[in-house]
Structure 1
Amino acid sequence: MSSSLQLTASNYSKLIKSEATRLGFLSCGISKAEFLEQEAPRLENWLNNNYHGQMSYMENHFDKRLNPTLLVDDAKSVISLLLNYYPSEIQNEESYKISKYAYGQDYHFVIKEKLKELLYFIQTEIGDVTGRAFVDSAPVMDKAWAAKSGLGWIGKNSNLITKKAGSFYFIAELIIDLDLEYDHATTDHCGTCTACIDACPTEAIVAPYQVDGSKCISYFTIELKDNLPQEMKGKFDDWMFGCDVCQDVCPWNRFSQSHNEPLFNTNPELLSFSKKDWEEITKETFDKVFKNSAVKRTKLQGLKRNIDFLKNT
């Protein structure tokens, strides 16, 4: 790259990162859009071990997961973004529990709007740039790209972790056909800590940096459509949608601070519900409490299945 082009790429990157901050993103990192060589054997082994369980969609588009140029023609850069969702108030510990990411409105819609704004800004300020926004909506290895962009490291629980904010944030991407200045990966700061491995109620973290997704409480309570396995009775720690155990015990999450996104604010009813309230939840209440929420993914029937499983433990 010539020095004039380099100067332009550097300026463009600063401009994009400044706008990402204005839009409320926690941080922004940029990587060259290229094949993820290190991730290819890891993904292949993960699938061969059936760690994806019934998430058959994980077997699809293997090449696209590893190569962003197959998702966006002439892709040059992957812009990775983090958006904090750590709530100011936590659910009553005596109640059935929902993962913190689902306390507010569905993140897919909230982040997609921000990404559209960012892409529009790039096109307006820089020129003819083509790209696509991704929020869990396509085969993109978001944690790998975020780590490659220096936004954090992938911890022993397979979550992206940062020293300044822990791991309670969403990851999203813009893949665009514009050369930018690229960031570098950071170092791993898990050290000898095994808190997440030791605390996992279902022993889903089978080895450091290796998670058997088919044993994860999030998988059971959200992805699994069959009856919950009897051998898991008594191991769900009252989680009825998702699970935060491996994040809650992570020492780096001592640095988590409340988000400032109004759309992620918690429905007060969610905080006040007792176990009895959950056990007696009606469709009307479900629709009201979880309007525009990620919890709608599991539907009332799925949530009731999970609650019944916990109640009869």
Structure 2
Amino acid sequence: MRRPCRRSKMWSGLPAGAGRPCGFDHPAVVTLREEILAEASRLGFLACGVASLDPSRFGDALDTWLARGFGGTMRYLHRQAKKRKNPALIVEGAVRAVVVLDSYLPRHSADGAGRVPSAERRVPRIAKYARGRDYHLELGERLGELSRFLIERGATVARAFADAGPVPERELAARAGLGWIGKNTMLIRPGTGSFFFIGSVLTDLPLEVDRPFETDHCGTCTRCLDACPTDALVEPRTLDATRCISYLTIEHKPDPDPELARQFQGWAFGCDICNDVCPWNERFAAATDRSAYQDRGDIPLDDPDFFERLDAAGFAARFADTPLERPGLVRMRRNFATAYQSLEP
């Protein structure tokens, strides 16, 4: 039973001094920082901000999270913990992070943002971000351009990260004034929601930093916690990955626990539930025009034997450079079968 949601006041702007939307009006004298923000806008990013690489204030929380086993089989999180807790150790000489947001909501999904898909259409579901080109490639290419721009402007260190490596993206984004970390663990931006990727360039340029976004605008809302079918959100802002549908359909190689799998609600790759039910997405989520993130429409979701009929070569040809390439054919066959089983009455 969903508990009442008393929302904090919503607005479409940001506090003065916070990480700015790309494309703001420039004064007559343009600083290097403003040149970088303008370049981020030219590259099509939704917003851009600058953060320090000071030690994380969540270091103890990360240690506790890992000790509780919430990272599952993602052993790299243990290996990367020291750098995640002190991002200045990630790239030698780096002192700042230029952080960008990249909207990915496909056009056909815009009307459904903020609403869980109807259970009446009993077909498997693919997460919205996975419908088009692999974002590691799409985002990475434009971050590479931004890195080169920084080098041209005097940086000797400018390394791009597109959701890879030990970068604590959400904390750096909040530190750059781009939003706050919601109860669903996602970065939420006022007037935008949370359907975006986070990328960063770590640099030695001593740029002026943005004012961190420190206000929590989730209020007393618990929609994300209430809606998660596997109870992966064990408490506000704490995710047990071993119960998360996204983890179990993407990162986790063994078959999922049958009891958990019955709760998947048709998700075959990833999951959007805690984003879909968020009031900020319900009100503000807007589709991107970027062609790379549009739904390719190449998966007949109502065909339970689709992946069974594909051979390895056919799968590779069809899903090259897409997120579905990562799990491979064998695991997508398993995921599709599990998704259909979870839809059975």
Q: TM-score, normalised by structure 2?
A: 0.83
Task: Output the amino acid matched with 1:129.
Answer: T
Higher normalized helix content (fraction of residues)? 1
Give the corresponding residue for 1:287. Answer: 316
Task: String of CA shifts for 1:175-195, please: whole Å, max 9, x gaps.
Answer: 000111111122111001000
Give the corresponding residue for 1:116. Answer: 144
State the alpha-carbon separation in 2 of the partners of residues 233 and 40 from structure 1: 32
Q: Is the 8 A contact 1:68 1:175 kept in 2?
A: no
Measured after TM superposition, the shift of residue 72 of structure 1 is 1.6
1:28 aligns with 2:48: yes
State the alpha-carbon separation in 2 of the partners of residues 246 and 198 from structure 1: 9
Classify the secondary structure of the residue corresponding to 1:287.
helix
> Which of 192, 195, 199 is residue 168 of structure 1 equivalent to?
195
Task: Output the amino acid matched with 2:296.
Answer: N
Task: Output the amino acid matched with 1:78.
Answer: A
State the alpha-carbon separation in 1 of the partners of residues 131 and 35 from structure 2: 32
What is the root-mean-square deviation in Å for CA atoms of aligned residues?
Answer: 1.9
State the alpha-carbon separation in 1 of the partners of residues 37 and 305 from structure 2: 44
1:263 aligns with 2:280: no
Task: String of CA shifts for 1:121-145, please: whole Å, max 9, x gaps.
Answer: 1222x22431211112211110110
Q: Is the 8 A contact 2:87 2:168 kept in 1?
A: no
- The structure-2 alpha-carbon separation of the partners of 1:302 and 1:22, relative to structure 1 and needing over 3 Å to count, comes to same
State the alpha-carbon separation in 2 of the partners of residues 169 and 21 from structure 1: 15
Map 1:1-313; keep pairs closer than 5 Å.
11-36=31-56, 38-90=57-109, 93-124=121-152, 126-186=153-213, 187-254=215-282, 255-270=284-299, 272-276=300-304, 278=306, 280-283=308-311, 286-313=315-342
Measured after TM superposition, the shift of residue 104 of structure 1 is 0.7
Q: Structure 1: which 5+ runs fail to align?
A: 1-9
Give identity over the alignment, percent: 39
Select between 280-289 and 241-250 the one with higher mean Cα deviation.
280-289
State the alpha-carbon separation in 2 of the partners of residues 28 and 62 from structure 1: 26
Classify the secondary structure of the residue corresponding to 1:276.
coil
Measured after TM superposition, the shift of residue 252 of structure 1 is 0.5
Classify the secondary structure of the residue corresponding to 2:83.
helix
Q: Is the 8 A contact 2:182 2:218 kept in 1?
A: yes
Q: Structure 2: which 5+ runs fail to align?
A: 1-29, 110-116
Task: Output the amino acid matched with 1:149.
Answer: A
Task: String of CA shifts for 1:216-258, please: whole Å, max 9, x gaps.
Answer: 0011111111122111142001000000000000010121111
Measured after TM superposition, the shift of residue 276 of structure 1 is 3.0
Q: Is the 8 A contact 2:169 2:200 kept in 1?
A: yes
State the alpha-carbon separation in 2 of the partners of residues 68 and 98 from structure 1: 33
- The structure-2 alpha-carbon separation of the partners of 1:174 and 1:128, relative to structure 1 and needing over 3 Å to count, comes to closer
Measured after TM superposition, the shift of residue 116 of structure 1 is 1.1
Task: String of CA shifts for 1:42-91, please: whole Å, max 9, x gaps.
Answer: 11111011001111111112211122221222212111111000011149
State the alpha-carbon separation in 2 of the partners of residues 264 and 251 from structure 1: 23
State the alpha-carbon separation in 1 of the partners of residues 231 and 293 from structure 2: 30
Measured after TM superposition, the shift of residue 269 of structure 1 is 2.4
Q: TM-score, normalised by structure 1?
A: 0.91
Classify the secondary structure of the residue corresponding to 1:111.
helix
Task: String of CA shifts for 1:104-160, please: whole Å, max 9, x gaps.
Answer: 111111111101111111222x22431211112211110110011110100001000
Classify the secondary structure of the residue corresponding to 2:327.
helix
Task: Output the amino acid matched with 1:155.
Answer: G
Task: Output the amino acid matched with 1:14.
Answer: E
State the alpha-carbon separation in 2 of the partners of residues 312 and 145 from structure 1: 39
Measured after TM superposition, the shift of residue 278 of structure 1 is 3.7
State the alpha-carbon separation in 2 of the partners of residues 75 and 235 from structure 1: 44
Measured after TM superposition, the shift of residue 277 of structure 1 is 5.2
Q: Is the 8 A contact 1:66 1:140 kept in 2?
A: no
